[in-house]
Structure 1
Amino acid sequence: MTALSNFPITSRWPAAHPELLQLYSAPTQNGVKVSIMLEEIGLPYEPHYIDIGKDETWSPEFLSLNPNGKIPAIIDPDGPDGRPLCLFESGAILLYLAEKSGKFLPAESSRRYETISWLFLQMAGFGPTFGQLGFFHKFAGSAYEDKRPLNRYVTESKRLLRLLENRLDRRKWVMGNDFTIVDISLLGWVRGLVEFYNAREIVAYDDLVEVPRWLESCLARPAVQRGLNIPARP
């Protein structure tokens, strides 16, 4: 096993337990995907808080792990073939952890690819759309006189929520009876849309039935509750 000290990021965020998987993240909609997954599968890990408000993701140390400068990212000292693995992009990390643990990703081939399709939809659709809505509704974009960008993302967010509503009809979880990485990838973004971005009214969230029921079931899971606050903010 290669010493973690060989990785530049550990000079700024030292590993107290280098034998454990190292998580570099923050409790954002993207970040909590990985902390929730780690809590759900029970894999021991060491979290490191990355302060995105202070642009720590753009430091040379962090960029050595993720050249795209975004959280979350991991180093698994016990990666494939016993060699350390550095990985970024939350969707890729979820897939890796699912395969490593044998949990939350169907083994049967057709179901596995269907699950991956929904995971990619979250990555390409739900996350970017909800994030842009949040910018134009809550943050600097709210001051723009031209409301066409906001209206565009409101309309698309409502469409995606209705898609999810239809998918959850007669299903406990997005993929049916089994909780999967799709639920893990989506729950933080749906929760953030209504609670953090304060968009409940403009996306007509209270007109939905299945999505609120599903989100409540997600949030009732103890591992989800733990993961939503990891890494802890200072």
Structure 2
Amino acid sequence: MISPLRERPAGLLTRHFFHALFDFGVFSQEGADSFVRVIIGLFSLIISLGFLLVRIYAQKYGMLFAAATGEPYARAMLADTALAIALSMWIVAFVTVLVSHSLFPDETDFRVLMPLPIGRGLVFGAKLLALALFAGLFTLSSHVAITPLAMLVSGGRWALNPLPLSLLAFWVTSVSASAFALLAVAAMNGLLVTCTPRTHVPAASAALRSTLLGALVLALPFVFTLPA
């Protein structure tokens, strides 16, 4: 059942665009394969970061749970929950900016694909689906990595709500925030593509990508100051 779906035009196009997200257009085949390994390593790094955060915050929350009142815990919980959400947003935004050159079908895509019996809507839809799958991988991995921290923050003696309810609220809020980060990056790139003459789109897109990457790197220290 799955195989026929993959062989349909929509499935083939989605797979093509998904693979293209791992190729910056300047790599050889060996370079593209190396970049895939870098992405896999990034997944491992994200998971490791989640466990590292749990270890860092375990002592802090041990003292908060042992406190005489729950007021210090309540303040810390709000700040650290904001940190967990912001980290997930940052990861998704960073990855989306990295592949922002492939967010929308370009002129080459249409020139190559238009002779085929497929419509522009199918091309655009397959591109968006590939982006959603790519971003979904990082959204899922970042939230799986951050969930142990959310469990630590939301549980314990002074917990305000049952742990399952707190985790559900965290996932809904954090995934929505990550989707907002992705859509914000996509909107900026879409606005650039719409408002920039075609001949200047590649240069403008590269400049925007560099600017956003720099802004995200500069913003990272502020993300970690949220628990302050």
TM-score by length of 1: 0.31
TM-score by length of 2: 0.31
Choose between structure 1 and 2 for higher RCO, CA contacts under 8 A separated by at least 6 residues: 2
- Which of the pair has more CA radius of gyration? 2
Q: Which has the higher strand share?
A: 1
Q: Which has the higher helix share?
A: 2
